[in-house]
Chains A and B, each alone.
Chain A
Amino acid sequence: MDDIKMAKNETSSTEDILIVNNIEVVYSHVILVLKGVSLKVKKGGITALLGGNGAGKSTTLKSISNLLASERGEVTKGSVTFSDEYIHDLDPAQLVKKGVIQVMEGRHCFEHLTVEENLLTGAYTRSNSKEVKDDLERVYNYFPRLRERRTSLAGYTSGGEQQMIAIGRALMAHPTMILLDEPSMGLAPQLVKQIFEIVAEINRKEGVTILLAEQNTNIALQYSEYAYILENGRVVMEGSAESMRDNEDVKEFYLGISGEGRQSFKDVKQYRRRKRWL
């Protein structure tokens, strides 16, 4: 565990573009979902937020982008700072103008709009039509497949294409930071790899900071530099992606690789009960 603690100290510098400080999120005034989550995202990097179903990954992202309000959720404690500015009072539209945009889980394309129209809605907050045109061209260069399908309705495109639309649409807002929620959901492994390659490329070329929530721990740790593991609304572990990949517990729980060979399901359950985080 020691090397993980050290990694944490290394990153806590002024380069952090986003600082989430001990936030608590309550849905419908009663359901406590996040129980004090803190994390820091380094500028220009890819940070991963890992964990199983219901761990609170999406909620964390939504409390940053402030999409919580429309789901009757509310940040009751803690603070969120983006570029040294408190942002938890801003509505999503204001945040998009500030450069923070979320790509929602499950793609959420506008089904009855064409692919191109979908991309253009991403530029809703921008007024310079020349720049928007250039950006559209850039998005098409990242996703050549979308150029081919620009006139078809988004509802008729494949799952992979819809994920591309969702990412491209976010890119059209010219963001400094993208909150990417489960890009691998429901996609074939090969397609997942392709999407992650493009995301990494966008991160490299555009300098867009990416906070990635992902269940697919294996691929997320390949492409990110730093990772947090959420369990039950709390951060239970953090560290550089490298140290995470080598950590025995992560291997056991999230990567499915065990030091002692394959265990029976019963054993795993018992082991889990004995050694819970926290």
Chain B
Amino acid sequence: MSVELLNFIETVLNGLMSGVMYSLVALGFVLIFKASGVFNFAQGVFALFAALTLVGYQTGQVPFAHVINELFGTNYHNWYASMPNFLAIILTMITMIALAWIIERLVLKHLVNQDPIILFMATIGLAFALEGVGDLMWGSDVKVLDVGIPSGGSVWLEEATIGLAAEGSDYYGMYIDVLNVWATVIAVILVITLALFSQYTKTGRALRAVADDHQAALSVGISLRTIWILVWAISGFIAMVAGIMWGTESGVQFSLSLIALKALPVLILGGFTSIPGAIIGGLLIGVGEKLAEIYIGGYFETGALENWFAYVMALVFLLFRPQGLFGDKIIERV
């Protein structure tokens, strides 16, 4: 095989892998959008908050330590030195479920049957409020997140591919981040579980019913509150997974909440209402970005094509298929 072809394959592979990371974020959006018609702007902050909380539990940070110390002149920082990863993840999950419950109580309950734009504005407010709470609770310094997921280059793949190039050529094998491989595995498990859940369980069916028609769902005795808490809890869980992945890759910092913006083009490509769409959309964006960076990035002197290429893809897509690849069929009876 020629070196060019091998490089191309490597680029595509890396694109797919980083695409999975986008998909993880987009998945949370899709779930909430389907069930409550809300575009949850706070999804990125959810991921940030989950990652912050996880690190906080792991290292035994005292929540609101700054505030408490300031008010009472004390000097608390840590309760304990460390906590097992497993336990910390479970505790974070519980926190995210509690968060979903609080959000339903404080925000959603009062906005039943309001225009989507009002709900959207509410989630923007929620995003900033939650970011503030996260800051107060755990501090604003950049933290290292390590839950034992291996990262770095895959030696195995490098060794396996190094011999593929033609004899004597300048080729050192493919590079793939092991973290991304893990992200892929986890995303696949997540999606399969979600698909089975929504297709074959009573609660899943109720979830889809609520997505279709709130009023009708209410009229047959489906409790919107239960469904919404459930959906927000599930997307809180997905945000946690995304937060762990992104946090491990680039550290837990407040810019993490901006990954929500990366999910937008993914959603436009895949469709706001489709779980498989979120995955395929993420993969397409990932691959598109990487290919564009390598093959046409050279023509742009400023570089950093990766940062905006996804949005251009989304724009082009909007022109031809506004509901996205797998979005809900726009049912029109004639």
Contact = CB atoms under 8 A, between A and B. Distances in A.
Contacts of B202: 120, 124
Contacts of A97: 221
Contacts of A65: 219
A166 B218 CA distance: 13
A173 B218 CA distance: 13
B205 A120 contact: yes
B333 A96 contact: no
A69 B217 CA distance: 14
A104 B208 contact: no
Given A113-B208, A153-B331, A70 B223 contact: no
Nearest to A97: B221
A155 B333 contact: yes
B183 to A, nearest CB: 30
B209 A67 contact: no
Contacts of B224: 70
Given A70-B214, A120-B205, A156-B333, A108 B222 contact: no
A255 interface: no
Residue of B208, B213, B218, B221 most packed against chain A (CB within 10 A): B221
B112 interface: yes
A110 B216 contact: yes
B222 A93 contact: yes
A124 B218 contact: no
A122 interface: yes
A91 B214 CA distance: 14
A156 B220 contact: no
Residue of B113, B208, B218, B224 most packed against chain A (CB within 10 A): B218
A130 interface: no
Interface in A135-185: 153, 155-156, 158, 169-170, 173
Contacts of B214: 70
What does DSSP make chain B's interface, helix, strand, loop or mixed? helix
B216 A155 contact: no
Interface in A87-111: 91-93, 95-97, 101-104, 108-111
B113 A108 contact: no
A53 interface: no
A147 to B, nearest CB: 19
A185 B106 CA distance: 38
Contacts of B205: 113, 117, 120-121
A170 B328 CA distance: 26
Interface string A13-45: 000000000000000000000000000000000
Interface in B82-106: none
A124 B333 contact: no
B212 interface: yes
Contacts of A103: 219
A112 interface: yes
Interface residues of A, number: 35
B220 A124 contact: yes
Given A110-B208, A110-B209, A156-B333, A124 B222 contact: yes
A72 B208 contact: no
B334 to A, nearest CB: 11
B264 interface: no
Contacts of A112: 208, 211-212, 328-329, 331
Given A113-B208, A120-B205, A124-B206, A108 B221 contact: no
B215 A70 contact: yes
A62 B222 CA distance: 16
Nearest to A72: B113
A95 B219 CA distance: 9
A160 B224 CA distance: 28
A10 interface: no
B159 to A, nearest CB: 48
Contacts of A110: 208-209, 212-213, 216-217
Contacts of A156: 331, 333
B333 A104 contact: no
Contacts of A117: 205, 208
Contacts of A108: 213, 215-216, 219
Nearest to B211: A112
Given A70-B112, A70-B113, A72-B113, A121 B220 contact: yes
Given A97-B221, A121-B220, A104 B331 contact: no
Contacts of A96: 220-221
Contact of A71 (B113, B222, B329, B331): B113
A122 B216 CA distance: 10
Nearest to B226: A93
20 contacts: A67-B218, A67-B219, A69-B112, A70-B113, A72-B113, A91-B223, A92-B219, A93-B221, A95-B221, A104-B216, A104-B219, A110-B213, A110-B216, A112-B329, A113-B209, A121-B209, A121-B220, A124-B202, A124-B220, A153-B331
